[in-house]
Every structure is written in structure tokens, then in C-alpha cells.
Amino acid sequence: MKNKGFRVIFCSIVYIFLFLPISVIVVNSFNATTTKPYMSWKGFTLDWYVKLWDNSSLLEAFSNTMIIAIVSTVLATVIGTLGAIGMYRYKFKGKGLIDGLLYIPVVIPEIVLGISLLTIFANVNIPRGMLTLILAHVTFCIPFVIFNVRARLSGYDNSIEEASLDLGANRVRTFFEVTLPILAPGIFGGALLAFTLSIDDVIISYFVYGQTKTYPLKVMESVKSGVSPDVNALSTIILIATILFVVLTQGSLFKKKDRRI
């Protein structure tokens, strides 16, 4: 009983540590205060959820973030999936070197990668903006997709593809109807991770954003004068949408497991 009580207390402390900052954002989105730094509680209100739609710069930043995240996720997923399959199937000179280089964007400090990308874009005269943000996000998202797909490829049975080819399907049809469905969980996991990393990025985006601000950069900018409750309101909406997505996804997974049982 003592061990059980200790585990309950320990888990409670961990959850409080994790979710207390999030709860502060949610609570402050209903704060009626209108004076900076917007931290003192002045009463409950829903006005900030209404005023949010009048904050065009904030909505534009959020729109930029979603566009960049979607485009970079699609590109990183396609490139990463093809790269993982190619490195799994074929042997070529320098394969070990390329495999090791994939870890560099993951392990090096983000500020180093941001400065490196800024230098490259400056040398090739690419103006900073939406394009440089997408290219930067694709760069650091590709390795995460490759790692997820390669994990799915471990233990992959090539005889399944051979059976498909023996039954008359060509390689294109075999890829889309056999290989791709088997790799789908790894591809989906890599895409979700890439999407999350893209939305969340601040440091790398700071070096390449130009005049195209993303939502994290807009929030970081507002920290200097105090994060206004309308920013907290948008963050709360994003949080609720994320929770609903997770609940719906987990619910569909449980239904599939029940059917198999």
C-alpha cells in the first residue's frame, strides 16, 4: 500500500509539472485583463476568443505556419519514404556515410543548422520568405521520416512483393498495393512527427523567415511586451483540436483492435 501511495504521489507530481504550464495558458485565455503584461486575473470573459478574429497579423502567422507545415510534411514524407526504401534495398558506395550524415540534422544544435541554411540561401541568392522556410523545414524533417520508415522496414518480407510480381502485377502496382500499405504506419508516424516539428520550430525559422512570420515566431515576438490573451485563446483552440484528433485517432485504433479480436 505504501508503494502504491508513493507511485500515485510521484505520478501526480509528474503530471502537474507537465500540464501546469498548459493549464495557465488555457486559464489566461479567459482573463478579462486589458493591461500588460496580462498576468493579473481580472475576471472571466470570452471576449478574447472574439477579438482573436480581428487580429489579422496573428491569424496570418498561423496560416503561414499551417501552409509551411503541410507542404514541408508532404515533401519530407515523399522524399523520406523513397530514401528509406532506396537505402534499404540497394547497396552502393558511400551508403554508410550517407546513413551517418542523416543523424546530423537531428543531433546538432538547431542554431547551427539555422545559420548553415541562412548561409546557403544567401550564397545562392534565395530571398528569405515562404520558400526558404519550407526548404528549411523539409531539411530537418526528412531524417525523422526516414528513421520511422526504416523502423517499419526492419524485418520486411520481400517474398510478399515477389509473390505479387509472380501473380502478374507490375512493380508500380506492387508498390502501391503491397509495399505502401505495409509501410503505411511508419509513413504516417513519420509524417505526424514532421508536421509536429514544423509547427513547433522557432530557432531555425528565425534565421530564414524574412517577412513571412510563423505562429511560434509571432508568439516569441509578443513575449517581449507580454503575451496577450488572444494568443492564449488561439493556443487553446489548437490544443483542443489536437486533443480531439488524438481521441478520434485512438478511438479508431481501439475499434480496429476489437474487430481483430
Q: Express as a percent the part of the chain with pLDDT over 70.
A: 93
Helix ranges (H only) for the chain are 2-28, 47-51, 56-89, 95-101, 104-107, 110-123, 130-153, 159-166, 171-174, 180-200, 203-208, 215-223, 229-260
pLDDT in tens, 33-88: 777 767 777 888 888 898 888 888 889 999 999 999 999 999 999 999 999 988 88
Considering only 93-97, 172-176, 257-261, which range has the smallest mean pLDDT? 257-261
Cell numbers describing residue 113:
543548422
Please give the pLDDT value at position 254: 52
Residue 135, domain member (yes or no): yes
Please give the pLDDT value at position 245: 81
Structural domain total, the chain: 2
Q: Are residues 261 and 207 in the same domain?
A: no
Q: Are residues 252 and 197 in the same domain?
A: no
Q: What angle do CA 227, 216, 131 make, to 5 degrees?
A: 145
- Which DSSP state fits 37? T
| CATH number of the domain to which 188 belongs | 1.10.3720.10
Residue 181, domain member (yes or no): yes
Residue 91's domain spans which residues?
60-214
Whole-number average pLDDT of the chain: 85
C-beta separation of 230 from 58 below 8 A = yes
Q: Are residues 181 and 258 in the same domain?
A: no
Cα–Cα distance between 40 and 245 in angstroms, integer?
32
